[in-house]
Every structure is written in structure tokens, then in C-alpha cells.
């Protein structure tokens, strides 16, 4: 997910129903993943760039993702055309025709990442959980997702506090059996505290009437804007699919 503090919340993409954005992103990603036709992938890349511009994504939000893909692209271009000759351990042969394959894979990766970043990563994790539940995802999975969002930071803070307490009492991590033992104790304590916490949370839930059904508070309204967005995203996916079939 893209942290909320570096993304706008009022772009044309942000105003669209999260369910439409998720399904649209999934549909486009599927078409792009299945196609190896350069024209389709180039159109997908252009679409990804347009969607990112519409979502008003700042460069700082895109940079880490694109940098990761670029690293992968360099490795792919460097190693995919090489092949170790059969029955020889050291002789490498260069296959220039595989550069096209590497380029196809790179185009695919960039276009899918751009489309998914613009449409799905801009949804707040909590909202995405609700949207997925409304789309029919099993309640237990959504509950786990929402609890992870809620408690990941609390548990990380707890681990940091324990590490700081160790450091303040002179602990310096080294590759030493005693150091490893302390790290083991830290992990064990964190698990034990998390189990205790989970029991207390269950108590708190029961006290407020929880009987196994997790009711969703947030509901989405499907407006004309969402209908237009659905139409546009579906048209884009159908056009890409038609291009793929024609090529």
C-alpha cells in the first residue's frame, strides 16, 4: 500500500468505489499477464501511466516500486540471453533473440505494477478489507487482514520497546551463543505477550456482544461515477484483449 501521507485523497481515481478499482485492476492485470503481444503491453504501459497521472501519484510513491522492477529488468536483460552450453560447465552462449523475451517480461511487469499501483495501492488497507468482504471474500480472511492492520504496528512497537530495554541494560548484539539466546528469549516473550493480548482482545470482543459474526460498519454506494469508471475500465480490458486476439 502507498502510505496515506504521500498520496492525495481527492483524485478522480480515489473518488471511484474501491470495489470497482479492485476488480478493474485485477481484470487489466490478468489481460496483461496473459498477453505477450508488444502492442498490447505498450498500450498497457500507456494506460498504467495515464492511471497514475489520474491518481496524482507523486514520484516519491512510485520510485521504490519502479526501482525494484528496474533492478529486476537489468538482471533479466543481463542473464536471460545467456545459456550454459550442454555438456560444458564454463562455456556461455549468447542468444540475441531472447532479448525480445526479456523486454516482453519487463514491459509486462512495468505495466501491471503501474495499473495496480494506480487502482489498488491507492485504497486504504482498511477500506480494501471492507471492499473485499463486500465482493464476497470469506469473513475469516478479512477479519485476519483487519486484525493484522490493527495490531502489526502495536506488536512492532512492543518488540522495539523490548529491544530498547535490552540495549539500555548493556546488551550488544553479537554472533555469540548468549546473544542468540537473548534474541530467542525476545522472540519467545513477544509470542507469549501476543497470546496474552489475543486472549484479552477476545474477552473485550465477547463483552461487547461478539458471537462469531463480524459485522461490517462501512458500506459503499455505487454511483453514476462508479458506473462510468466500470464502463471505462471494462472497455480498456476488452480493447486490450481484442488487440491481443487480432495480433
User: Which of residues 36 and 194 has its CB atom nearest to another protein in the complex?
Assistant: 194
Residues of this chain, 135-194, that bind another protein according to CB under 8 A = 146-147, 149-151, 153-154
* Phi, psi for 213 (deg, rounded to 5): -105, 125
Quote the Cα angle for 50-51-55, to 5°: 120
User: Which of residues 63 and 160 has its CB atom nearest to another protein in the complex?
Assistant: 160
Helix axes 125-134, 139-168, angle to 10 degrees: 160
Out of 174, 219, 224, 246, point to the residue binding another protein (CB under 8 A). Answer: 219
Q: Which of the ranges 27-35, 71-79, 107-115, 211-219 carries the binding residues for another protein, by CB under 8 A?
A: 211-219
Question: Taking CB under 8 A as the rule, does residue 206 contact another protein?
Answer: yes
Question: Taking CB under 8 A as the rule, does residue 46 contact another protein?
Answer: no
| Euclidean distance between the first and the last CA atom of the chain, given in angstroms as a whole number | 35
Out of 14, 134, 193, 197, point to the residue binding another protein (CB under 8 A). Answer: 197
Closest CA to 127 of 16, 12, 244, 205: 16
CB contact at 8 A, 198 and 151? no
User: Which of residues 99 and 149 has its CB atom nearest to another protein in the complex?
Assistant: 149
User: Which of residues 87 and 219 has its CB atom nearest to another protein in the complex?
Assistant: 219
Q: Which residues contact 114 (CB under 8 A, 6 or more apart)?
A: 45, 48, 49, 51, 52, 62
Out of 175, 207, 221, 246, point to the residue binding another protein (CB under 8 A). Answer: 207
Closest CA to 113 of 78, 61, 74: 61
Helix axes 38-54, 224-246, angle to 10 degrees: 160
Separation CA 179–CA 175 (nearest Å): 7
Closest CA to 117 of 57, 193, 76, 185: 57
Out of 208, 221, 224, 246, point to the residue binding another protein (CB under 8 A). Answer: 208
Residues of this chain, 96-135, that bind another protein according to CB under 8 A = 125-126, 129
User: Which of residues 4 and 180 has its CB atom nearest to another protein in the complex?
Assistant: 4
User: Which of residues 90 and 207 has its CB atom nearest to another protein in the complex?
Assistant: 207
Structure-block grid coordinates of residue 179:
546473544
C-beta of 153: minimal distance to another protein in Å? 5
User: Which of residues 150 and 176 has its CB atom nearest to another protein in the complex?
Assistant: 150
Question: Taking CB under 8 A as the rule, does residue 14 contact another protein?
Answer: no
What residues line the site for another protein (CB under 8 A)?
125-126, 129, 146-147, 149-151, 153-154, 197, 200-201, 203-211, 213, 215, 217-219
Amino acid at each position: 500500500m502507498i502510505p496515506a501521507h504521500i498520496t492525495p485523497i481527492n483524485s478522480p481515481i480515489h473518488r471511484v468505489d474501491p470495489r470497482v478499482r479492485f476488480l478493474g485492476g485485477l481484470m487489466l492485470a490478468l489481460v496483461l499477464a496473459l498477453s505477450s503481444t508488444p502492442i498490447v503491453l505498450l498500450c498497457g504501459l500507456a494506460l498504467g501511466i495515464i492511471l497514475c497521472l489520474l491518481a496524482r501519484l507523486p514520484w516519491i510513491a512510485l520510485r521504490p516500486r519502479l526501482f525494484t522492477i528496474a533492478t529486476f529488468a537489468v538482471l533479466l536483460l543481463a542473464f536471460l540471453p545467456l545459456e550454459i552450453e550442454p555438456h560444458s560447465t564454463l562455456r556461455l552462449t549468447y542468444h540475441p533473440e531472447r532479448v525480445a523475451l526479456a523486454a516482453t517480461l519487463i514491459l509486462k511487469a512495468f505495466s501491471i505494477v503501474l495499473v495496480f499501483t494506480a487502482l489498488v495501492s491507492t485504497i486504504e488497507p482498511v477500506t480494501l478489507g471492507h471492499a473485499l468482504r463486500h465482493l464476497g471474500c470469506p469473513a475469516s480472511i478479512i477479519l485476519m487482514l483487519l486484525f493484522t492492520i490493527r495490531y502489526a504496528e502495536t506488536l512492532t512497537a512492543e518488540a522495539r520497546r523490548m529491544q530498547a530495554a535490552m540495549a539500555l541494560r548493556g546488551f550488544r548484539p553479537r554472533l555469540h551463543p548468549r546473544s542468540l539466546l537473548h534474541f530467542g528469549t525476545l522472540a519467545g516473550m513477544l509470542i507469549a505477550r501476543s497470546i496474552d493480548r489475543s486472549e484479552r482482545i477476545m474477552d473485550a470482543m465477547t463483552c461487547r456482544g461478539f458471537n462469531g459474526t463480524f459485522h461490517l460498519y462501512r458500506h459503499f454506494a455505487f454511483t453514476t461515477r462508479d458506473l462510468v469508471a466500470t464502463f471505462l475500465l471494462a472497455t480498456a480490458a476488452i480493447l486490450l484483449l481484442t488487440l491481443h486476439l487480432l495480433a
